[in-house]
Amino acid sequence: MAEAFIVDAVRTPVGRRGGGLAGAHPADLGAHVLASLLTRTGIDPGAVDDVIFGCVDTIGPQAGNIARTAWLAAGLPEAVPGVTVDRQCGSSQQAVHFAAQAIMSGTADLVVAGGVQNMSQIPIAAAMSAGEPFGHEDPVAGSDGWLARYGRHEISQFRAADMIAAKWGIGRPEMEEFALASHERAVAAIDSGAFEAEIEPYDALRDDECPRRDTSLERMAQLTSLRPADHGGIITAALSSQIADGAAALMIASERAVTQHCLDPRARIAHISARGDDPVLMLTAPIAATEHALRKAGMSLADIDLIEINEAFAPVVLAWQRETGADVSRVNVTGGAIALGHPLGATGARLMTTLLYGLSRTGGRFGLQTMCEGGGQANVTIIERVAPCEPPERGSRSEIAEERRDIAGEQFRLLGRSEMTALAHRRPPADVVQPLGPLARRAAVVDELVSEYGDRRGDRDAITRAQRGQPPVVRVIAHR
């Protein structure tokens, strides 16, 4: 099966509710990261096969296929399609999975995956109640099948978080210490510049807004629970992810695209999977999903250098840690959603972006991402950092890519769109070949350099596979 690579990733700062991103149209937030991603990778936007974005509560400015709207709002080619997916909080992680699957199946070579959410404009769960004017109080009311299977249990993430804390015996002091550590790690990451490379500032906003520098255990202890204590309420706002706004995007590429476009990917997608669990308990699926993913990948948590698990609520991560035995020193090392915020449809891509840059910053090899999702689900992604490929001495990667773009532009100027299309299907006549002669010689040099890139990457990949105890990959190249 073909492999999928993450070429690069970028995100906006995460804005707090009513903060620096509150007034930004979701399409413009998405457009911002799309344009930045294409600038960073140097990829011709017309070469992108598809755009897959996650978004939740797709009503109002987030309705009508926000993936497509954001791409067009960025001024990018109309020929490139887009699709929006909803796996609740894991929507943009699922977007990465769909992109990787398209690459691995051979049906695409370049896919942009990401997500966007403006919770300041469209409140959380707005879509859940959008059917009320039409006689539907929530998504499951009136379903005989649901009622027969799950009864009239309250389906609420807040109740689920309380239930998890009770089931695993996780007390409020332990959860508050966990939440405080999340803020401290996030503040330290901001102050050290750990996020600078992954963030593309939006207007005046340059840093994540949600981490609270002035929080303390004493302040947390003063908060009342979100649900009544006599109904089992223990979770407070301090133990919950923050309502937030943001966007993130990643470029996923095939090996063929890596060679063709002179790309230097940051990571290989080593594993993707998703699992389900009790939809009433709702937030426990990362436990089973992590075990499933590691078994399928032939790995253990000891092989994983960094882990990003979404901090929907403190007990979600603490119960997962107890069941998996994960080393907490490798988990959410730059803080999690309790501190950084959780812009629902964008969080999966934000976590993957942070994981990608974290591996580069620390020199780690493997990273794992997981997150709980509405309906009792969880995605797991395992990535392997790819060491940078040294460019041929005769030209840097960016210089080679720029030369290719210049050649293509000159061909278009000489021949026009119709003749360029015809050249792809037949041998050109002599009067067309003659003015293209110098371009052909330039193109031959570029192709030689691209081949040298491929040889270098092949040597590096062979070493990596040998380190993993895997046989070498035999590639058959057909010449036309």
Q: Burial-class residue 140 by CB neighbours within 10 Å (0-12, 13-18, 19+).
A: middle
H-type helices in 223-343, by residue range?
A: 255-260, 285-297, 314-324, 337-340
Residue 331: phi, psi to the nearest 5?
A: -105, 125
- Which residue, chain included where needed, has tokens 């395992």? 382
Q: Which three-class secondary structure string do you get for 26-60? A: HHHHHHHHHHHHHHHHCCCHHHCCEEEEECCCCCH
Options 55, 89, 262, 389, the catalytic residue:
89
267-276 and 377-385 strand pairing: antiparallel
Contact between 352 and 270 under an 8 Å Cβ cutoff? The reply is: no
Options 55, 210, 262, 372, the catalytic residue:
372
Cα–Cα dist 174/185, whole Å: 17
- How many Cα atoms sit within 13 Å of 92 on the Cβ side? 33
342: annotated active-site residue: yes
Residue length of the chain: 480
Show Cβ contacts of residue 204 under 8 Å, excluding neighbours closer than 6 positions: 20
Q: How far apart are the first and last CA of the chain?
A: 23
Options 32, 183, 261, 342, the catalytic residue:
342
- How many Cα atoms sit within 13 Å of 161 on the Cβ side? 27
- Tell me which residues are annotated as active site: 89, 342, 372
